[in-house]
Structure 1
Amino acid sequence: MLTTQWWAMGLMFLIGFASMAIVMWLSIFIAFRSRPLYQKLNSQLDRYQQVVEPLRRLAMIGIPVLLGLFVGVSTAARWSTVLQYLNRTSFGQTDPQFGFDASFFVFELPFLRGLVAYASAIVLISGLAAIATHYLYGGIRINGREVRVTRAARIQIAVMAAIYIALQAVSIWLDQYATLTQDTGTITGAAYTEVNAGIPGRAILAGIAALVALLFIVTAVIGRWRLPLIGTALLIVSGLVVGTIYPAIVERFTVVPNAKQVEAQYIQRAIDATTHAYGLDDLDVVSYDAVTTASQGQLREDAATTASIRILDPAIVSPTFRQLERVKQYYQFATHLDVDRYEIDGQTQDTVIAVRELNQAGQTNSGWYNNTLVYTHGYGVVAAYGNSRAADGTPQFLESGIPSTGKLGEFEPRVYFGENSPEYSIVGAPDGAAPIELDYPRGGNDTSDTNAATFTFDGDGGPVLDDVVKKLVYALKFQSADLLLSDNVTDQSQILYDRNPIERVGKVAPYLTLDTDTYPAVVDGRIVWIVDGYTTTANYPYSSVQQLSSTIADTYTPSPDFPLDDVNYIRNSVKATVDAYDGSVTLYAWDDEDPILKTWQKIFPSTLKPASEMSEQLTSHVRYPADLFKLQRAILQTYHVDDAGTFYSGDDAWATPEDPTQTSGVAQPPYYLTMQMPDADAPSFSIYSTYIPAKQATDTGQSVLTGFLAANADPGRTTASSRC
């Protein structure tokens, strides 16, 4: 996959570089070759020529090359847009305005607009260079109010102007389609004013621009500038009238007095598109009529749910885990632990689970040797029953201790790759050499660090430092001369880095947006980190655009940085695992019907495995991801309404309650819990959240429950919403 990306970036760089450099050089060369040879210039231009002439050859090559490098780097960064266009996949959904498949807006339109933008920039810069060259060498002469242009200069400038204006005509034409992904205030997408004034206006302006381009061609032939200048003035005036004044008139005199009626069909378009783009078109809505009396035996029906109610809060129990199970200061647990479920004694059991990771700051003797060669990995997991506690109030552990013992069976306990692993470690040793990597402290009365088991990493987790060049490269990368000088760094040593699970998946699949809540699981004798991957876009027609980072932020999730923060389409298309021992990454195509994932599978055909190859144990631990749920929760605050009139009135909008334990006004996080849904036959591992009326969201006096959103977090998931 990496080579595919490199080849694509390299080819895009060459195309961008060559396009800019060749067109620029050709423009300057033509202007220079067609200069008047025996024309006397004014003294100022003579002085300019004397300065430029010695550097002319260098400038004619150097300027195009320098600009070509800038454009090449810029185009190389657009490699994903080009590859998606070349490998585009149909969505099977057409937009209601133009009748195009959604793939046109997701894959084709960004490519075409980018192509026109780059071409316009190249032609504009090259045209300006041609004008400057003609002026410097007498092709253009300004004498007071009189401007004289030679025939050669006129032809070149007129032709380049015609090309540039023609490109603007194409750009204006494409802008029609971009209206379907623009935020108009009430909805995303073209509403009444855009459909009836903006889109037709852009078509008219594109036609006028094309006519002006033809007038510049006429000027190149007959030598008269009046026609294209008049046409350009007409284009500017038309842009003001058709593009600004007329839409404002339509908005003021048609939309504002009759907004609810005239906008209804466009609001309905937005509702339908948004619910589909966020995977909510199969939402089950269950009305709930609250009653204040209970019938005899009513609670018996919820016995399975009440027995599974979690009394161990993963957000606040970490200090207890640390006090009871850290063992040594050089171990640590995450601040916010994870919730999962395991089959214990034949029954599915909610558990709070944590990985015992390395904390190098807790060492007694810190230094490069210990930090890099000795303290290299964490050890084991600690898991507790979510719905029970010991007699003294402490968690009731089902897996604990060093070495790990409990209900989770035998598994590889060493954690070289985790959420809090060191920046880099050097592991491995020659055959027969004494191991120096600290594995775990031994038991007994001697609790010193010297009474500890040691280990030698024998996996394939990083590059082997088997020559001086590699050692030098990594010494420079990590700014460490010790890496070169240490006798313990041998030809069998491996260097482990990029150790965070999310970071590793991001390196393997840069096209995915990754869930911020990765979680550990003991699967098939290994500790693995499970990472949910999303395919996203902000170009789905008529779908509401959300800022992903702010939408998923809550008490336990600080606002993260995403490469693509604005989204209006999302699918949980990939489940990824990262082996905590050797860092190996495996990607599974969870939603193999997603068109964006299909496109990326065409680009990188060998990187994903089908979901059918997931082991039974791994499948039992995947869940409905938290970030996706929070994004859908935010959408349903408004888009639970399926009637355009009610939507426009906004009188049934919901809000997510604020976390009552916080003072900063952050959203209450959703919760994972095993419970039985209404009309379900049995309890299931679920994620849920609540709603209050939007008008009460800022009222600290009261919060009335108005809605309840839950998703079956087990494989074969379904989503349900119930309203109180």
Structure 2
Amino acid sequence: MNENPTVGKQRSSFAHEEGSVIGMPPTSRHLLALTVVAVASLIAVLVGVAGYIEKWLWMRQLGYAGIFWTLLSVQVVMFCSAFVFAFLYLWINLRQATKNSGDFLGGVRASRPALSSVNVSAHPSIDLSPRLLKAAVFLISAVVAVFSALYFYTEWDTYLRFRYGGSFGVSDPLLGVDVGFYLFHLPFYVLLQGSLTILTILTFGIVFSTYILLGIRLALTSGVGRIAASSSATSHFSVLLFILAANFGWGFYLDHYELVYSTLGVVYGAGYAADHVTRVTLWIMVGVSALACALLAFNFFRPRLKTLAVGVGVYFALWLIGVYLVPFFFQEFFVQPSELALETPYLKHYIEFTRKAYQLDAIQETTYPALPNLTPEVIARNQDTIQNIRLWDSRPLLQTYQQTQAIRLYYQFYNIDTDRYHLADGYHQVMLSTRELSPELPAKAQTWVNEYLQFTHGYGAVMNFVSKTVGGGFPRYLLENVPAESEFGLSITQPSIYYGQSMSGYRIVATDIKEFDYPKGNDNVYTSYSGKGGIPLNSFWKRLLFAWSKADVNILLTSYLKPESRIQIHRDVSERVAQIAPFLRLDHDPYAVL
């Protein structure tokens, strides 16, 4: 109790004045927060939109605009569909939870005087205004829906494989299903089942937390703790668990197809234990899931929270024992002691389908007699083979290239490739590498004009025989020096390398700045790009777009650009192919072709 009301008033008045002078009025704070959110959202939108416009311009210039629109439309549809479904799923459940909590609280408060034997614990209810509660429900639903939609957005390839995938005409030996089902359809079904499972579990957790905060209370009766929940809340739990059990049942059904990827046995794929035990337990769990759905439907009309909790525990115990423990112990104590006898049929399947996958089953095997000795006549008859036995190792050869053929500090050889070429004297195996620009120019040359307008490309390639040397232990070159020289009839009509194996960032070509082409003694030779690669910078808006997307205002301010100037992006060949055909899996090592 305040003994001095005057002091209290003075303190209140001082606090009010202090807040007005030092702080900020609530309206201003709200306006500032909204401004910050709006600016951040605008920047995020601009970054995303600029990226899409840049990609569209690039793919249109290459003649692949159709692929851009196809992929974008699929991604947008998947994002929107997932967002709408996840949002409504959460929003409906949270709205029902808040409604049930309110009804339960009202009932507890009305009946509290009559519950003298029940000591409701001091777990205060959270009183929220209806407007704030609706906003919280909307915000939580929207945030979770955005993350769900983003996940689906990245899985566009899974849908397209499902939509357009076909069959192989080859059935697996375990279930007799066409292999195309496993590659094209099963991944999409797994995506749907797994996403719905995660969403339902997340929804259940949020709904349960909502009931804890707003409705469910821990009660003490004669010193024993129990959870008190309304029948409507228990029915709500039953509905969510019904969806979860049905979805788990679908998952167990899909799991028996995924046994072809099992790692339980000695090989990658279904073994004896997976075929004879795991398959059976998965079908049992499908039946258990169906029974659980029936019991949950009954519990919806006759809600019992304790029964619900016990049922969930029993279900997961059966899952753990049947799907994981029983197959594991069966493998350890029954299969492994007789592994060869039991696993042999599955080993044969493994070998057979591995050969089919790599088309090794089409190879014809021929037996050649072993010669007791190797004579000069035999070697003379097989010169094509002898002269193509590779002697050079790519690692020291790369150092040799860099030391003898880089010519200048701003050139770099990144790796050595092996290929075969028809020359005047026959078919030869060769090793080669392209002379690309170094990732960084020498320190004194690192100006914006040099890095982005003048030093735009590498030059030429180097090639040597795999088994021939010259004096000093150097390789015998088929192609060397700058400009390229060859004693074997090889020629390069376009030696400039604008796109290579390790070319990051962007370059602008066909400008008022002459591009460095190659060194010639103490002088340099310059050129100007005349090809069609790159996006034309023929408008102010394109220059503004790339100045924004590349975070480089010099693109907008420089006076060296012309209407025919072009900006080259995605200059790494692997990156280019991945942008155009993201559904392909590429070899990790691209190689140059003359």
Shift of 1:65: 0.5
* More displaced 10-residue stretch of structure 1: 71-80 or 285-294: 285-294
**Paired residue for 2:501?**
419
Question: How far, CA to CA, are the matches of 2:96 and 2:314 in structure 1?
Answer: 31
Question: How far, CA to CA, are the matches of 2:578 and 2:232 in structure 1?
Answer: 54
**Paired residue for 1:637?**
none
**Paired residue for 2:315?**
235
- Asked if 1:173 corresponds to 2:253, the answer is yes
Question: How far, CA to CA, are the matches of 1:53 and 1:303 in structure 2?
Answer: 90
**Paired residue for 1:654?**
none
Aligned partners of 1:215 and 1:228 also within 8 Å: no
Query: Counterparts in 2 of 1:299-698, with a 5 A limit?
Result: 299-310=379-390, 314-334=394-414, 336-345=415-424, 347-359=426-438, 360-362=440-442, 365-390=445-470, 394-406=474-486, 407-409=489-491, 411-421=493-503, 423-429=505-511, 435-442=513-520, 447=522, 451-522=523-594
**Paired residue for 2:33?**
none
- Asked if 1:22 corresponds to 2:88, the answer is yes
Shift of 1:327: 3.5
Question: How far, CA to CA, are the matches of 2:145 and 2:341 in structure 1?
Answer: 53
**Paired residue for 2:153?**
76
Shift of 1:180: 1.5
Secondary structure of 2:571's counterpart equals coil
Question: How far, CA to CA, are the matches of 1:13 and 1:228 in structure 2?
Answer: 35
Change over 3 Å in CA distance of 1:127–1:312 after alignment to 2: closer
One-letter amino acid of the counterpart of residue 107, structure 1: F
Question: How far, CA to CA, are the matches of 1:517 and 1:148 in structure 2?
Answer: 64
One-letter amino acid of the counterpart of residue 104, structure 1: F
Shift of 1:28: 1.7
**Paired residue for 2:177?**
100
**Paired residue for 1:39?**
107
Secondary structure of 1:438's counterpart equals strand
**Paired residue for 2:362?**
282
Shift of 1:403: 3.3
TM-score (norm 2): 0.77
Shift of 1:23: 0.9
One-letter amino acid of the counterpart of residue 20, structure 1: A
Aligned partners of 2:460 and 2:492 also within 8 Å: no
User: May I ask how many residue pairs the two structures share in their alignment?
Assistant: 510
Question: How far, CA to CA, are the matches of 1:156 and 1:275 in structure 2?
Answer: 53
* More displaced 10-residue stretch of structure 1: 506-515 or 144-153: 144-153
Structure 1: 5+ residue stretches without partners: 523-724
Name the structure with the higher helix share.
2
Q: Which digits, 9 at most, give the CA deviation of each residue in 1:433-469, with x for residues without a partner?
A: 5x511122345xxx0xxx3222211222222334444
Aligned partners of 1:14 and 1:72 also within 8 Å: yes
Aligned partners of 1:24 and 1:125 also within 8 Å: no
* More displaced 10-residue stretch of structure 1: 189-198 or 456-465: 456-465
Specify which structure has the bigger relative contact order, considering alpha-carbon pairs within 8 angstroms and separated by 6 or more residues.
Answer: 1
Question: How far, CA to CA, are the matches of 1:342 and 1:252 in structure 2?
Answer: 55
Change over 3 Å in CA distance of 1:294–1:343 after alignment to 2: closer
**Paired residue for 1:564?**
none
Question: How far, CA to CA, are the matches of 1:46 and 1:250 in structure 2?
Answer: 49
**Paired residue for 1:216?**
296
Secondary structure of 1:160's counterpart equals helix
- The structure with the larger Rg is 2
Question: How far, CA to CA, are the matches of 2:208 and 2:471 in structure 1?
Answer: 88
Secondary structure of 1:49's counterpart equals coil
Question: How far, CA to CA, are the matches of 1:114 and 1:49 in structure 2?
Answer: 38
Question: How far, CA to CA, are the matches of 1:122 and 1:402 in structure 2?
Answer: 62
Shift of 1:279: 3.3
Shift of 1:27: 1.0
One-letter amino acid of the counterpart of residue 103, structure 1: G
Shift of 1:502: 1.4
One-letter amino acid of the counterpart of residue 239, structure 2: V
One-letter amino acid of the counterpart of residue 503, structure 2: S
Shift of 1:178: 1.6
**Paired residue for 2:19?**
none
Change over 3 Å in CA distance of 1:330–1:131 after alignment to 2: closer
What percentage of residue pairs aligned between the two structures are identical?
Answer: 25
* More displaced 10-residue stretch of structure 1: 122-131 or 203-212: 122-131
One-letter amino acid of the counterpart of residue 83, structure 2: F
Question: How far, CA to CA, are the matches of 1:400 and 1:114 in structure 2?
Answer: 53
Change over 3 Å in CA distance of 1:48–1:235 after alignment to 2: closer
Q: Which digits, 9 at most, give the CA deviation of each residue in 1:307-345, with x for residues without a partner?
A: 4445555543344444544343333333x4333333333
One-letter amino acid of the counterpart of residue 532, structure 2: D
Change over 3 Å in CA distance of 1:151–1:322 after alignment to 2: closer
Q: Which digits, 9 at most, give the CA deviation of each residue in 1:206-251, with x for residues without a partner?
A: 1011101111101112345676566545434433543345435533
Shift of 1:24: 0.7
Question: How far, CA to CA, are the matches of 2:506 and 2:348 in structure 1?
Answer: 53
Question: How far, CA to CA, are the matches of 1:73 and 1:355 in structure 2?
Answer: 40
Structure 2: 5+ residue stretches without partners: 1-66, 113-119
TM-score (norm 1): 0.64
Change over 3 Å in CA distance of 1:294–1:337 after alignment to 2: closer
**Paired residue for 1:127?**
204
**Paired residue for 2:343?**
263
Change over 3 Å in CA distance of 1:283–1:151 after alignment to 2: same
Q: Which digits, 9 at most, give the CA deviation of each residue in 1:121-149, with x for residues without a partner?
A: 222333344444445554x4543245554
Aligned partners of 2:507 and 2:568 also within 8 Å: yes
Aligned partners of 2:405 and 2:480 also within 8 Å: yes
Question: How far, CA to CA, are the matches of 1:318 and 1:229 in structure 2?
Answer: 67
Change over 3 Å in CA distance of 1:369–1:94 after alignment to 2: same
Change over 3 Å in CA distance of 1:53–1:405 after alignment to 2: same
Q: Which digits, 9 at most, give the CA deviation of each residue in 1:526-578, with x for residues without a partner?
A: xxxxxxxxxxxxxxxxxxxxxxxxxxxxxxxxxxxxxxxxxxxxxxxxxxxxx
* More displaced 10-residue stretch of structure 1: 340-349 or 74-83: 340-349
**Paired residue for 1:8?**
74
**Paired residue for 1:589?**
none
Name the structure with the higher strand share.
1
* More displaced 10-residue stretch of structure 1: 285-294 or 461-470: 285-294
One-letter amino acid of the counterpart of residue 512, structure 1: L
Query: Please, which of 371, 378, 388 is the counterpart of residue 298 of structure 1?
Result: 378
Aligned partners of 2:97 and 2:211 also within 8 Å: yes
Change over 3 Å in CA distance of 1:195–1:339 after alignment to 2: closer
Secondary structure of 1:258's counterpart equals helix
Q: Which digits, 9 at most, give the CA deviation of each residue in 1:614-668, with x for residues without a partner?
A: xxxxxxxxxxxxxxxxxxxxxxxxxxxxxxxxxxxxxxxxxxxxxxxxxxxxxxx
Change over 3 Å in CA distance of 1:125–1:456 after alignment to 2: same
One-letter amino acid of the counterpart of residue 74, structure 1: Y
One-letter amino acid of the counterpart of residue 162, structure 1: F
Question: How far, CA to CA, are the matches of 1:353 and 1:252 in structure 2?
Answer: 52
One-letter amino acid of the counterpart of residue 116, structure 1: Q
Shift of 1:204: 0.5
**Paired residue for 1:182?**
262
Aligned partners of 1:197 and 1:247 also within 8 Å: yes
